[in-house]
């Protein structure tokens, strides 16, 4: 197989969708790509769509960290870089690293970290990876704010929160400063 460019079009815990323009209408090529990535531990199934040139990998959400570490290794072996992290992803990763550091040094911190990891897994499994604990927390803060402040605020809270959320969605999907796409191309070779 020659070098192919592809983009990680979408990823949520338990699922990664890649678009491979050169594989559009080529089921044999998509099958080769699927077999290459099937070696990653935790993969439960891989779906290929020749009409769109996409590959969707479903993996065990309980092995999320292991999967992404091995996925990153696979991508680097292919001579490409992984998709860039958003600011939110970087912030969440820093919090996770701090929590793991504390958990290594304290039994009670370990219990708290494990509790929240388990809650996150259960929320993701229950919602088929559409919602995670970060979303539940944000919705809880919004709900609490609306009930506490209510209509007494000068600007309705829902307007402020909607504008804030819209701004972040636009920021996450905007092209990078170098003019390239927000998702970096990845190359597969064999």
Q: What is the CATH number of the domain that holds 52?
A: 3.30.70.100
Q: How many domains is the chain built from?
A: 2
Spatial contact of 58 and 43, defined as CB atoms under 8 Å apart: yes
Of the pLDDT bands very low, low, confident and very high (cuts 50, 70, 90), residue 83 is low
Residues 6+ apart with CB under 8 A from 101: none
Write down the pTM of the prediction.
0.43
**Domain co-membership, 93 together with 79:** no
Calpha distance 61→13 (Å, rounded)? 6
Residues contacting residue 47 through CB under 8 Å, at least 6 positions apart = 55, 56, 58
Q: How confident is the model at residue 174 (pLDDT cuts 50, 70, 90)?
A: low
Residues 107 and 121 in one domain: yes
3-state SS string over 48-61? EECCCCEEEEEECH
The span from the CA of 69 to the CA of 51, in Å, is 30
* Structure confidence by residue, pLDDT tens digits, 124-161: 788 876 777 878 888 888 778 777 766 566 666 667 77
Q: How confident is the model at residue 187 (pLDDT cuts 50, 70, 90)?
A: very low
Q: Is residue 10 part of a domain?
A: yes
* Share above pLDDT 90 across residues of the chain, in percent, rounded to a whole number: 3
Residues 38 and 97 both lie in one domain: no
Range(s) of the domain holding residue 71: 4-83+182-188
């Amino acid at each position: 197989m020659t070098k192919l460019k592809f983009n990680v079009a979408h990823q949520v815990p338990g699922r990664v969708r890649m678009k491979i323009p050169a594989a559009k209408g080529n089921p044999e090529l998509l099958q080769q790509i699927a077999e290459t990535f099937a070696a990653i531990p935790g993969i439960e199934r891989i779906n290929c769509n020749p009409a769109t040139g996409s590959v969707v990998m479903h993996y065990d959400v309980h092995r999320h960290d292991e999967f992404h570490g091995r996925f990153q290794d696979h991508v680097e072996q292919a001579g490409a870089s992984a998709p860039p992290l958003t600011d939110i992803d970087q912030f969440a990763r820093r919090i996770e690293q701090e929590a793991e550091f504390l958990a290594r040094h304290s039994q009670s911190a370990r219990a708290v970290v494990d509790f929240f990891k388990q809650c996150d897994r259960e929320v993701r499994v229950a919602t088929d990876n559409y919602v995670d604990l970060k979303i539940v927390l944000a919705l809880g803060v919004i709900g609490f704010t609306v009930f506490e402040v209510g209509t007494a605020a000068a600007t309705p809270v829902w307007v402020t929160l909607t504008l804030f959320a819209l701004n972040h969605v636009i920021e996450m999907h905007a092209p990078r400063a170098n003019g390239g796409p927000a998702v970096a191309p990845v190359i597969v070779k064999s």
